[in-house]
Amino acid sequence: MSPTFQKFRHIFIPFSILLVFLLIFGPTTIFARPSHDEVSNMADAIRYLESLEKYYSQVARPRFGRSLNRNFGTRSDVEPRIYGMLSDPSDEIRR
């Protein structure tokens, strides 16, 4: 045996066994057709998702005008220290 094979045989042998296993048993699981129950379950799931989409497209729309706070931007809405910084007359940059 070559020195390279002896060095990597602990990797080569399990890898070759795994490769043979996948070549033999892999295609049967890849090409397996779904059963009739799985197809009907998928159709039910698609119908359910369509009904959810229809429901949430109508119900979960934003209600403009009602969702905002009526006191938005007033002194009570902003922290007093920050409001004082924003309305400070000595601030030349904001003018």
Residue 50 lies in a domain: no
pLDDT digits (tens, 9 = 90+) for 82-95: 555 555 555 555 44
- Residue 25: alpha-carbon gap to chain centroid: 32
- Prediction pTM value: 0.32
In a domain, 12, yes or no: yes
Range of the domain at 7: 1-32
Cβ distance 69 to 77 under 8 Å?
yes
CA 34 to chain centre: 27
Classify residue 92: in a domain, yes or no: no
Closest CA to 94 of 81, 80, 71, 83: 83
pLDDT tens-digit map of 24-65 = 877 766 666 767 777 788 889 999 999 999 888 877 766 665
Residue 43 domain flag: no
In a domain, 25, yes or no: yes
Contact 41, 48 (CB under 8 A): no
How far is it, in rounded angstroms, from Cα 52 to Cα 43?
14
Classify residue 46: in a domain, yes or no.
no
Q: What's the domain count of the chain?
A: 1
In a domain, 24, yes or no: yes
